[in-house]
Chains A and B, each alone.
Chain A
């Protein structure tokens, strides 16, 4: 605990302005065919005027449906522009504020939400980053960004009975047996 505080303190002292980008999913467990909503958020974005990074995931497991819910002001209209496109690593995001005023708020904001359809079963992760990551600020400087950890999801085949229910049934059976034993 002490170490953690010290680490956090270190982080904060080094880069008080570092952008923090996180990714979450609306559930952990899905079945094939379910809608999966991925939310990418950003914190400490006040001075950021441009960025590009990738949402990293297996795009053979999830079919893109839509992008929505950005809180970056009037993000899709002039002079701010956020674009996202599929690429080999998953989905790329690129943003420019051509007024050069910065995004303005350091609070956690939703950069974008993405809706996917789970198309196959397995354990998958949604991550952030990519080799082309760039964050630029109002001083025309590159800014470090810290990306949150992977968000892992499970996708089960729709026809398979989920394991916990099997376990529950077995427990119920055992308890039933025990009960029968007691009566005798």
Chain B
């Protein structure tokens, strides 16, 4: 409930004192609120609150007791059971009938309360009112229309009726709690009528006060008049004396109350003002002051007029209108008659078409000159009973006029041939054309939206019923000028003033029509249509022709030019035209230029100063001395000597246009033919600023012949961008032609268009509709400048789901304004939220993280988010609510930073700042700390089109080597991304999966060697090595050789399992090691079980340092790709991809192998490494961790560990899983982020790889990061080594004895004689275990 609702409520309520106090206290707030709600963007309506209170006081009075009675009810016999109606009798004057209402208690279910409320109007005593369920049937049955209709009145003969006033039941028909069927008061297909002089009965139905027709009494009857037992209309009490014409009452001024007997069914009518006391300068004080102060813009004047004529407007009842018209429209020649508006003839006042007289087509009725179907179709609207536009007309002529617009029309109206009519317009007789026009101006000015009546608008087009608008404005202006105010109109205005309290300002001051209603856009010809009707020639300043369109006076230097524009609409021969320059106040033109050639319509001719810069000269058609101006010199354009246009005031030497670029306003099509008058360039020119040369060479003006153009003028109405965008993905106005006006937030030549955003004062309050839109101009030049207000017309299109406006032409420049970006944040509330910003200028409330650079090289795109996105199954068990929630959140946590370049593999790639290169990388995990741009939708993603260069920060910087705490042995694993060496002799390219040529191989090898060298691990497991055996030319042999070559020494060797190939895949795993650090213990082992895609390779090593042993198993599990997947191997939709079942089987086989193989199980220190193609929480990994193994990446790195990027999410497929015994000896574990974060554009592949992308460095050698584990391996315990120093000597003996004497707990491993107890007997046996002779210590 907003303040306007409160206002309206209080306006209608009885709590006047409270209302006044409240409104006085909240005065300014109320004003602002009303301003906000008034339709018509440029106009402010200020309702003086005290005057509102006064107005309210006339309405907010309680209905007097016993003032209204239920007198009849009918359930009709026509199809549908109509008419269904109640008759009410007003026994005493009621000032505001809306205090009362009616409720229909259907079917005995008890009271339904007040369902219908009467409108706010006064009714006088003696009035019969009819409330029916509908109008047509009622009118047909009774011969007159009901006063009110309401769906609630659809009674059935068994329904009770309650009459309420001020919330209390004042009269009742029937028993509300009883269904009337079969009751004494049943009126099915019949009627009930109250006995005279009874009631009202409050809430107690008095059966005895009613007479009944009996049920079904009306069956088969088609009208009340023909019924045997008709409904006794209006027989309850004295109706206001109908009279038979009589002597019609006075013509106002002398008597304060007009007797209603002057016409049929007419109530008495009192006056509220005295026209003889009217003081124009007082009444119009505000307006007159504003005009004399120069604040006389159309908007200002209209607002003040609205204020003036709304105050003191006493709203009449529709019945009172009869009475009023008998005075206001009295025939000056015959005081018994009224003058009919359209016919012009006179008719008896008493022949008004009220009640039973309404069926006579020759009676007169109340014509709504502004048709009621155009904005106020019931008596609850003030305009319905506003007598300024209600005129007596012949009933049938009124019907012919219908609700047509006013315009010159084709054919005479047969009944009143001075008037004309056609299918879409009505043209009244000449004598009242001006009257009609001024009445319409009154209606447009009086009703601006602050009333119950909506904002009525005069428009210069045809309108339709339902619109609160009427046309045609220009025609009405013409009629106003053609038919000036006469005394009859003035008298009428005064008479209205006495009854209604307000005046038509355009009768009192016809000169104000011009101020409020501009004829600028109207045709200057003598009206279209067949009947000119005496239109005067409007003086036109000049034909639309050749005009000055731009003036450039640059600051510093000679950057000067003038531009001429052909607004005539047809090609112009320039011969005969001359440009003249009057320098420094001279009255003689010192320099002249004769023009020649032809100029196409809409085209420009640029004359430049020869000393201008290249930008100006590029668009100049000629150079001439008429450009030797410097700000105080006047220009003229003459044709054959006659002045056609001018710039400045001849003879005035003052500087008026220096250091400025001026462009002629688009709506100016004809020249200023008076060069002697004062010149202010602001009237017809826009100031583009200093040293702006970009606008030269074209002009967005109208070309003559078109009536102002469909696009309209700056400031005209336009479609709101939010309405075009709508609240869904697609526009509700698709394919429609619309005009928008807004601020340019971004001009994007690469997209051949620009983004426009509605000024914030025009925003709707719906945050699901965007206030911005992309305008496709189709050219990359001449885009409007950011910050300019533009008006553009185009068709609304959905371009691959981007809502845009495809412009018809370049936009009109309407000034400048600023836009603040809307601050948004990720993740979006839902995936549709960005649609509500589509086209708008946005920035972010947080730093953005680079999450996806996969397409950086290919499309120039960067995926951004709020923080990094992790693979859901890397963090949560698959299928759990947390995993699902994270997957859903990741989807919402992304936006693409667009480069606007549509070419693929662009060069350069513009992100990060400075362009992507091997040295200037953009890693995932890096940041964008400032981003301002437009939300756009294209290529199936929401994108930010930057309005300013984004700021990149390398927050996830590269590291030169892995930062791993050292132990006594380090093991690493790396997927080398298809390392294929051809035939090893320089040929054999392209390879099956790896390098396509020797060059690519060399690039790959160089990076790989550097990375392996930097890792400096003692054991290295490799995946995706070419499966070409172990000979000299094999991939693994040559890699090892290259590595050793780089290191300068043969540090590394490779494990040779002694087979020509491992398994049958093109790729295999391999092991490198440093013989100086670890030695091979036993033969390597392979598991050729078919469950493995690539057989795992295991090798037991012993540390040279201390003999501690370690078994390493290197693996490459089946990938998640779905080729050939079926059954349990197909994607189960749990985030684990395809072949999860296979990988599970591989895990289980591996665990079994490690437990059961004699050699592998002998050593408890087991380390499983490699690319398991499963993320941390997936089934194959959890198979290990539940089974005596530890995920070392999890224990040493944690939830944010990753080795791989996929779809903008990070996780680790590469693992180090140790037996629990080994896990205790781990010092550190990590992934070295040299690959997963880097763009793939930087890898060894040469395709689409611009030269700046590759360097021989350690980055992006592969798409997987290497994993490293450092361990402190301990040799196995020596029996008898009591002090744990690795040997057995006297120290151990002493230690054991002391422990025995002190009764310490001693490990049972010292029960050397296995008698179940550790005592001196075991100590004796230590003698045999001594490491050195004599058990000597070292």
Contacts and interface: CB of A to CB of B under 8 A. Distances in A.
Interface of A: 49-52, 78, 81, 83-89, 91-96, 98, 100, 132, 134, 136, 140
Nearest to B1318: A132
Given A83-B1294, A96-B1293, A98-B1327, A136 B1320 contact: yes
A88 B1303 CA distance: 8
B1303 A87 contact: yes
B1331 to A, nearest CB: 15
Interface string B1311-1325: 000000001110110
Interface string B1298-1336: 101111000000000000000111011001000000110
Given A94-B1298, A95-B1320, A96-B1320, 15 more contacts: A52-B1320, A85-B1298, A85-B1301, A87-B1301, A91-B1301, A94-B1297, A94-B1300, A94-B1320, A96-B1297, A98-B1293, A98-B1324, A98-B1327, A132-B1300, A132-B1303, A134-B1321
12 contacts: A52-B1301, A52-B1319, A81-B1293, A81-B1294, A83-B1297, A83-B1301, A87-B1303, A92-B1301, A93-B1301, A96-B1320, A98-B1293, A132-B1300
Nearest to A88: B1303
Among the interface residues B1297, B1302, B1319, B1323, which one has the most CB atoms of the partner chain A within 10 A? B1297
Contact of B1302 (A51, A78, A92): A92
A132 B1319 contact: yes
A132 B1301 CA distance: 9
Contacts of B1319: 52, 132, 134
Contact of B1300 (A88, A92, A98, A140): A92
B234 interface: no
A50 B1335 CA distance: 18
A124 B290 CA distance: 123
A98 B1294 CA distance: 12
Contact of B1321 (A84, A86, A88, A136): A136
A92 B937 CA distance: 87
Q: What 4 A-B pairs come out closest when comparing CB atoms?
A: A92-B1301, A85-B1301, A85-B1302, A50-B1320
Contacts of B1302: 85-87, 92
A89 B1303 CA distance: 10
Contacts of B1324: 49-50, 96, 98, 100, 136
A90 to B, nearest CB: 11
B1337 to A, nearest CB: 11
Contacts of A50: 1320-1321, 1323-1324
Nearest to B1303: A87
A50 B1320 CA distance: 6
B592 interface: no
B343 interface: no
**Most B CB within 10 A of own CB, among A83, A93, A100:** A83
Contacts of A136: 1320-1321, 1324
Contact of B1323 (A86, A88, A96): A96
Name the prevailing secondary structure of the B interface residues: helix
B958 interface: no
A85 B1300 CA distance: 9
Interface in B1261-1310: 1290, 1293-1294, 1297-1298, 1300-1303
A121 to B, nearest CB: 28
Contacts of A86: 1302
Contacts of B1294: 81, 83
Contacts of A93: 1301
A85 B1304 CA distance: 10
Given A92-B1301, A132-B1303, A78 B1321 contact: no
B896 to A, nearest CB: 75
Residue of A52, A78, A88, A95 most packed against chain B (CB within 10 A):
A52
Contact of A78 (B1290, B1297, B1300): B1290
Nearest to B1327: A98
Contact of A94 (B1290, B1301, B1327): B1301
Given A83-B1297, A96-B1297, A96-B1320, A78 B1303 contact: no
B1301 A134 contact: no
B854 to A, nearest CB: 70
A87 B1299 CA distance: 10
Contacts of A132: 1300, 1303, 1319
B1338 to A, nearest CB: 16
Given A50-B1320, A83-B1294, A94-B1320, A78 B1334 contact: yes
Nearest to A49: B1324
A172 to B, nearest CB: 52
Nearest to A136: B1321
Nearest to B1313: A140
Contacts of A95: 1297, 1320
A94 B1323 contact: yes
Given A78-B1334, A85-B1298, A98-B1293, A134 B1320 contact: yes
Contact of A81 (B1297, B1303, B1321, B1334): B1297
Nearest to A134: B1319
Nearest to B1319: A134
A92 to B, nearest CB: 4
A85 B1297 CA distance: 9
A92 B1297 CA distance: 10
A97 to B, nearest CB: 8
Contacts of A134: 1319-1321
Contacts of B1303: 87-89, 92, 132
Contacts of A78: 1290, 1334-1335
B1247 to A, nearest CB: 78
Contacts of B1293: 81, 96, 98
Interface in B633-666: none
Nearest to A92: B1301
Contacts of B1297: 81, 83, 94-96
A45 to B, nearest CB: 14
Contacts of B1323: 50, 94, 96
Given A50-B1323, A51-B1320, A132-B1303, A83 B1298 contact: yes
Contacts of A100: 1324
Nearest to B1321: A136
A63 B599 CA distance: 126
A93 B1319 CA distance: 12
A86 B1298 CA distance: 10
A96 B1327 CA distance: 10
A165 B1297 CA distance: 48
Contacts of A140: 1321
A88 B1301 CA distance: 10
B859 to A, nearest CB: 79
B1314 to A, nearest CB: 14
Nearest to B1302: A85
Contacts of A49: 1324
Residue among B1294, B1327, B1334 facing the most chain A CB atoms (10 A cut-off): B1327
B236 to A, nearest CB: 120
A50 B1300 CA distance: 12
A91 B1297 CA distance: 13
Interface in B1033-1089: none
A84 B1294 CA distance: 11
A113 B572 CA distance: 138
B44 to A, nearest CB: 100
Contacts of B1300: 52, 83, 92, 94, 132
Nearest to A77: B1290
Interface in B238-258: none
Contacts of A87: 1301-1303
A68 B1222 CA distance: 49
A83 B1323 CA distance: 12
Nearest to A51: B1320
A87 B1335 CA distance: 28
Contacts of A89: 1303
A100 B1290 CA distance: 16
Contacts of B1334: 78
